[in-house]
Structure formats: structure tokens, C-alpha cells
Structure 1
């Protein structure tokens, strides 16, 4: 299929050679097939090639390939461009563009973009502060099992910021974040437990125990 020009097959073959899956690892063959997929403008290949260029500090070229993939709605490239504009990597820092790209990636379903969009709304980076929108995106990522978002939405419920205060939900999310080793989550869990009665604690523990990630 790759020989016949199928870009997805070319990219997958590059990954197999890169990782040595089913064949001996062969970086030269991996590069050859990824280049073929890049020539076909296959978004994952464009993205991976851009990352290799970023590693070599060839930022301008990398951004060009990322933009090509982002225009094809490839969420990982949209997110990476957002971070590039946020931290001024090879370009001046641009909060507005950073927000626009990360918002696109979040709406495309990239969970870490959803978490970062929540942070942007929380901090007023590239957009006006909006506690309700921040909580919405944090909870969306938290529901999908993203631990940092679980820690953040726990605080939102604990303070009633952007959502109605709910100690049960706050403790549930703190328990889940603590299980993943998120810094400060254990202390947060202890704080919520100290201000809750036994019945509410038991309810929160049950919710945490029965939590299942949403797709």
C-alpha cells in the first residue's frame, strides 16, 4: 500500500521502522517513508516532521509544516502551534494566536488542549477571564481522565468558582487527582475531608471509586 502511494500506509510503515515493530528498527527507512507521507501532505507525518525540525532548532520550517497540518484540522499541530505562540518559540509571543490554536485543538477533542484552554480562561491569557468557561473545559478534560484537570476542577467545586460549590464533587476530583500523584492533590483531599461530614465523604469516595473515563 505504501509503494502504491497510500499516505497513511507510508506513515504507519515509518512508525514501524522507527519503533522496530515487526521489523528491525531502521531510522533511514523510517525517515524515507515519513518523507513520502510528508510529500503527500498527510497530517501526522507533517506533524512528526515538524517536531524533528523543532528539535534541530529549525523553528521557521517547523512552524510551516505545523500550519499545513493545522489547516487540515490535525489537533496535535494546532495545540503545538498554540504553545509555540504562547512561549514565543521562533516567533514573538502572541496570546491571541496561542488561544485561537489551543481552542481549535480543544474543540477537536485533544484532552490536554481542553485542560490548557481551561487555564487560559482562568488566567485571562489571550481571552477575558471567564470562570464558567474555565470550569467547563477543566471538567471536560477531567471526565476524560486528565489528572491535572481533575485537580483544577476540584478547586473550582471547592471554591464555587464558575460552578456551584459542591464539596462532594470537590473531594471526588481531589481523590482521583491524588491517586495520579498530582502535586498538592493529597493536601487538597485532606482539606476537603476536614470540612465534610461522614455521609458526604462516603458519597465522594463512592463516586471516585466508580469513576469511568468518558471517551
Structure 2
């Protein structure tokens, strides 16, 4: 089967930091990882993992081996560590193995093993695994389709604040798939997904307020949600934010800021590229804003803010 590369949230790069925060050395290793000092992060995790009871450090080591950060890439070695941890019923190992076998890619996709490991993690109330198992039932991935099962699992994950599950429930309501579906419920789920850190949820919440579909029309609220999504690098939100700055919808008109957001989204949104070109030709912009150097600076600032936001919101340092 082909790998499901877009299926799973926070899977590879973040695995190494989804560990228990019980030991100071784990926190030190996390700090080294976030600073890009991967060799130090691996060394710290390896030292701590010498104690067989330090399961979190071994989990972090496996993630670094899988991603090849701080140590040569070693997929079989990473799997061996996780399987040993799963044999000890370590929740994060069960969830990670389930996600890896479901997605494929670095390892061969195996839906039977994915189901086995995910079910073990679900019994341990792991929200990511709960969502992923629901995804399997929704899309008939190695299991028989069951609306009741995937809805039950999505609702469990959503109750734990898991953003992907909240987004899915929003989409199911918007598409009128559920018996009691409503656009108001969809917008509420989108807002909760946005609050949980998911850019697509924030974008959809902004759309609710911008269109007045499911929420009373409120351009200031739409602007706030689009800004959250734009700062998380959602291209459609960036283009919409540029348009709101250009037209003064929900915010004071500002051609420089309009151009910035159009330019950042231009590679993926053709209409944004055209509007950026129109602003350039209008003569309303400082020429320095239109350089490739300025675009690169905006992109670098955005990337830095995204990384800081992940740390602040707990995406990198999940307990």
C-alpha cells in the first residue's frame, strides 16, 4: 500500500519530544533539541536510557534514531526500542507504533499491526491513538467501516482536546453527515480546533465569522481567526488576511501589511500573487518591501514564530 503521508498529526519530528517530564535530564534534552543541538539531545537521552526504568528517555532515543537527528538514521533500531517499550505497555510507544504502521513511509504499512498498537494505546486513553483508530474506521483502513465506532472514537479524542478530532467533527457537521448536524456546531468545533493549535481549525472558524454561516457575521472576529491561522502558515488564511488589510475589513487598511500576506501566500494562491503584483504596480508601496530579501525575512520570521508557538502551546513538549 502507498504511505499515507498526510494522515497523521505530529508524527515524526515531534515524536522525540513527546516524553514524560519527570526527570531534569529529559527537560535538558528537550531544550537541546529545540535549540537544534541534536547531538547533545541524543547524548543526554542515551545516558539516561542506560537506566532500564527510564522509558521516556528510551522513547526519545527511538525518535531521534528514526529521524536521524543527532545520530545516524536507524529505522530498525528505532522500531526495536519502541517494540520493547510497547512490551512494557508504554503508552507513547503503542501510539507511535500504531501511527507509523498506519502511515507507512519509513516502514512498510501494516494495518493489522496499526490496529493492534492503536487499540492498546486507546485503552490507555491516548488521544492521538484514539483519533487514528477512528480514522481507520471512517476510511475502512484494515477494518470494516463503522460510523458509530469512528464517531465514538472522535468524540473521545475531542473530549480530550485533540485538535484533529475537533476538526473532523466540524467537517462532519458542515457536510451534514451526522444526524443532528448543524453549521453552528461545525463552527464551534472549528473554533475549539483552532484554540487547540490547529491552523485549519482557525481558518475554518474565521470563515464562519467572515461569511456569517453558522455564526453571526463579525469581520473583526474573522480577522482574529485568520491571523491565528496565517501565523501558523495557512496559505488561504494569509491570502484572506491580505485582502482584509487591503480593503479595511475588520481592521484598518494597510497596504504594506496586505502586500506582506499576499506575498507570503503567493506561491500557493494565484489570486494572492496577482493582488501582490497589482499593489506593486500601484506605486503605493515602499520599493524595499517588494524585494526577495524582504520576502525571505518575512518567511524566516514566520518560521521562528511557528516554532516558538509550538513550544509555548505544548505541541513540542507534550507530557
TM-score by length of 2: 0.62
What's the CA shift for 1:204? 5.2
Q: Which runs of 5+ in 2 are unaligned?
A: 1-84, 307-319
Cα separation, 2, equivalents of 1:139 and 1:126: 20
What's the CA shift for 1:92? 4.3
Which has the higher mean CA deviation after the structures are superposed, 188-197 or 155-164?
Answer: 188-197
What's the CA shift for 1:91? 2.9
Change (3 A) 1:169 1:20: closer
- Is 1:188 aligned to residue 284 of structure 2? no
**1:210 corresponds to:** 297
Cα separation, 2, equivalents of 1:16 and 1:108: 23
- Is 1:148 aligned to residue 236 of structure 2? yes
SS at match of 2:87: coil
SS at match of 1:184: helix
**1:101 corresponds to:** 189
Q: Is the 8 A contact 2:98 2:114 kept in 1?
A: yes
What's the CA shift for 1:99? 1.3
What's the CA shift for 1:53? 1.5
SS at match of 1:2: helix
**2:165 corresponds to:** 77
Q: Is the 8 A contact 2:99 2:129 kept in 1?
A: no
| 1:93-136: CA deviation from partner (whole Å, max 9, x where unpaired) | 30121111111111111111111111111011221111111111
Q: Is the 8 A contact 2:242 2:259 kept in 1?
A: yes
Cα separation, 1, equivalents of 2:202 and 2:214: 15
Cα separation, 1, equivalents of 2:194 and 2:179: 22
Q: Is the 8 A contact 1:120 1:126 kept in 2?
A: yes
Change (3 A) 1:202 1:156: same
- Aligned pairs, number: 212
Q: Is the 8 A contact 1:7 1:42 kept in 2?
A: yes
Q: Is the 8 A contact 1:167 1:196 kept in 2?
A: no
Change (3 A) 1:204 1:128: farther
**Paired residues for 1:38-57 under 5 Å:** 38-56=122-140, 57=145
Q: Is the 8 A contact 2:211 2:217 kept in 1?
A: yes
**1:163 corresponds to:** 251
Which has the higher mean CA deviation after the structures are superposed, 146-155 or 92-101?
Answer: 92-101
What's the CA shift for 1:25? 4.4
Q: Is the 8 A contact 1:148 1:177 kept in 2?
A: yes
TM-score by length of 1: 0.90
Cα separation, 2, equivalents of 1:68 and 1:94: 20
What's the CA shift for 1:58? 2.6
Q: Is the 8 A contact 2:98 2:129 kept in 1?
A: no
Cα separation, 2, equivalents of 1:186 and 1:131: 23
- Is 1:135 aligned to residue 223 of structure 2? yes
Q: Which runs of 5+ in 1 are unaligned?
A: none
Change (3 A) 1:98 1:24: closer
Cα separation, 1, equivalents of 2:109 and 2:175: 34
**2:99 corresponds to:** 15
Cα separation, 1, equivalents of 2:168 and 2:90: 26
